[in-house]
Amino acid sequence: MTQTLLSLGHGYSAQALAKRLLPQGWTILGTTRDPEKAGKLREQGIEPVLWERAQVEAALERASQLLISAGPDAEGDPSLRLCGDAVARRAPALDWAGYLSTTGVYGDQDGGWVDEETPLTPGTARGRARAEAEAAWQAIPDLPLHLFRLAGIYGPGRGPFAKVRRGTARRIVKPGQVFSRIHVDDIAQVLEASIAHPAPGTAYNLCDDDPAPPQDVLLHAAELLGVAPPPVEDFDTAEMSPMARSFYAENKRVSNRRIKEALGVELLYPDYRAGLQALLDEEGPA
């Protein structure tokens, strides 16, 4: 039986998952708001679905699995607005549904550890919007929903090397601050493992084994490139946009034990050193 995944908001993480599923014979339906991008999706083996109610509802009727990765906007969750009622009607027929959320739902923990049982105390507008979206998807009866709380995502085209090469990277130091992160290929393998072993109602933290200060990541990137590291700037006096500064408002270490114990996942890139080396090997030194 052909497996068909509908990807609502077919972005960076969903594309990585598609690369794993397509060789196995899956049909992937990916949404796009831009008709001109339909051709590019077809080149990738994805069946394009325009972001309009009729097309998405028709795609839902074909789907055996559903991935929601379109993030909230100022008005809430865009997928729920477009087709929430259609998802509710289709829910009993789906084998699996996944919602890509963020570890930001846990809020600031002053550097402490969180796991999936930690109460949600989001401290930013982005985190609150994600927590509200999680709850809204969870409220759909019979939807076999899985929550994936993602740490900072990096991977091909989203690594630090370009900024380090250009000399625009900034090593901003806030004492005690750490961030968790996850390579996009590890996101994809966790999603694939969950699809193969559904456990509706389960939340999973997606991050690597090594929460680390952001300045350490940039320093390592510079060392790998053999260039001078970006200068150190003090967080308190650094010129930063409100958005950039807000990322430093939360400090926590995220446990990934559940994806290992429940899904048997062995991370491809257990820390940023392994991930950055792989990116450099792929991109080349230039």
CA 184 and chain centroid, separation: 7
Q: Which of 102, 97, 121 is nearest to 110 (CA)?
A: 121
pLDDT given for residue 1 in this prediction: 59
The answer to whether residues 79 and 107 touch, using CB atoms and an 8 Å cutoff, is no
Count of residues in the chain: 286
**Which domains occur in the chain, in start order?**
4-152+183-207+255-268 (3.40.50.720)
Residue 244 confidence (pLDDT): 86
Q: What's the pLDDT score for residue 283?
A: 84
**pLDDT beneath 70: ranges in the chain:** 1, 285-286
- Let me know: does 143 contact 87? Beta carbons within 8 Å: yes
User: What pLDDT is recorded for position 186?
Assistant: 98
* pLDDT tens, residue by residue, 157-207: 998 999 999 999 999 999 999 999 999 999 999 999 999 999 999 999 999
For residue 286, what pLDDT is reported?
Answer: 59
Q: Tell me how far apart the alpha carbons of residues 159 and 182 are, in angstroms, rounded to a whole number.
A: 11
